[in-house]
Amino acid sequence: MSTTAPEVGARSRLPSLTGMRFFAAAVVFVYHVSRQYVFRDQAVNNGFLDVMGRTGGIGVSFFFVLSGFVLTWSARRDEPPRLFWRRRACKIYPNHVVMWAVTIVLMLSTGGVVTVAAAIPNLLLVQSWSPNSDIFFSVNQLAWSLSCEVFFYFLFPFLLRGLLRLDPRRLWPCAIALMAAIWCVPFLANLLPQQPAWPEPGNDSVAVWSLWATYIFPPTRLLEFLLGMLLALIVRNGRWIGLRLGPAAGLALLGYLLGMVVPYVWSLVAATVIPLALLVPAAAVADLRGQRSPLRNRVMTYLGEVSFALYLVGGQVTGYLLLAFGKGPVWSVPGGTAFIVVCLLAAVLAAGLLHRYVEQPFMTRFARPRPRPVREIAEESTSR
């Protein structure tokens, strides 16, 4: 199974993937809004929840697959692991620490309770290793996925070294095996204790143990990251199946529709992972071949660049704006829709500020070792 490889270097830019990051972050944002019941008409709330209530898992799964793909695509084979780890730490920790502190201040100022036992694992990004929902969904709840990413980043240099040794003919069989393994996870998770239950809005509920094993546990989510790595190598080796971006997006929509009807624990990852896994390389190949893509314009590129910050701030912006302007079903349909749009715009603004004044300065100053002064190098050479 192969196609002609695009004549490009392994580190060619893939702007469509940057633009797609915004849609993933926006999907997670809307998912959380759908659980706030902002509309006065309960039927509208229920309909909104039915349509958007299972989209959060799609956004997170996309981020994990995309992360594996992009890191593999841009990897430098001769780079020491410590330099890779340094860059990733500078990328995620400054934003995380700022939002951790902001969230604690907001929680305490509005009568919330913050325990040291929950706050410290969250700060250190180890909370997803605990099956206790008070730990893995503590403080800024969305930071649980960063706990998984830290685990992925630690393993990445070693995983890449192993995958680069694979015969290119084995890349697709390995990718298919990973997809099958992801589908098996919910079956295994349902063998775990079914109490206590994690209440989901609407008719959904899931055992906390099943939720943790399927959705939160870092080794489980590593499968998606590995799948992204394999797909990057598939594209690099010219073995992509030729699926174009439009049909791949259609398959992603079908995967989402499947996720609406399967049991909740299957909707979290399994129902959508295959179409999402096809969407990422399809977008990458569209960039490599210069095919038309609505994701490459300047606005989408900027929104993609701030998407990590948007992911972290979105829940806080929505939750605390609701506290300020009326929590609960108080809005008409036009008013509630306008409020959601305002929340999204406010979240994008806050994300832009976080990106501009926290993320970028730390990346510029600390992500790479500073070059040694010429005078220092000269003095060292003459002393030998």
Q: Residue 190's pLDDT is what?
A: 87
What SS3 state is found at 177? helix
Asked if pLDDT for residue 271 goes beyond 50, the answer is yes
Helix (H) or strand (E) run with residue 206 in it: strand 205-207
**Mean predicted confidence (pLDDT) in 355-384:** 70
Asked if pLDDT for residue 199 goes beyond 70, the answer is no
The pLDDT confidence band at residue 381, using thresholds 50, 70 and 90, is: very low
**Any residues with CB less than 8 A from the CB of 32 and at least 6 apart, and which?**
56, 314, 315, 318
The pLDDT confidence band at residue 376, using thresholds 50, 70 and 90, is: low
Q: How many residues does the chain have?
A: 384
**Mean predicted confidence (pLDDT) in 201-208:** 66
**Any residues with CB less than 8 A from the CB of 275 and at least 6 apart, and which?**
248, 251, 252, 253, 254, 255
pLDDT per residue as tens digits for the range 12-49: 778 889 889 998 999 899 888 888 888 888 888 888 88
Paired tokens of 146: 């960063």
Asked if pLDDT for residue 333 goes beyond 90, the answer is no
Asked if pLDDT for residue 155 goes beyond 80, the answer is yes
Asked if pLDDT for residue 91 goes beyond 70, the answer is yes
How far apart (Å, rounded) are the C-alpha atoms in residues 66 and 203?
31
How far apart (Å, rounded) are the C-alpha atoms in residues 379 and 376?
5
Q: Is 337 exposed, middle or buried (0-12, 13-18, 19+ CB in 10 A)?
A: middle
Q: Residue 11's pLDDT is what?
A: 56
How far apart (Å, rounded) are the C-alpha atoms in residues 237 and 3?
9
The pLDDT confidence band at residue 339, using thresholds 50, 70 and 90, is: confident
**Mean predicted confidence (pLDDT) in 219-242:** 95
Select from 131, 132, 114 the least CA-distant residue to 123: 114
The residue type of 152 is: F
The residue that leads in pLDDT, 333 or 215, is 215
| Cβ–Cβ < 8 Å for 250, 279 | no
The pLDDT confidence band at residue 4, using thresholds 50, 70 and 90, is: very low
Range of 54-58, 215-219, 313-317 with top mean pLDDT: 215-219
Q: Residue 384's pLDDT is what?
A: 52
Q: Residue 148's pLDDT is what?
A: 97
Beta bridge partners of 199: 205
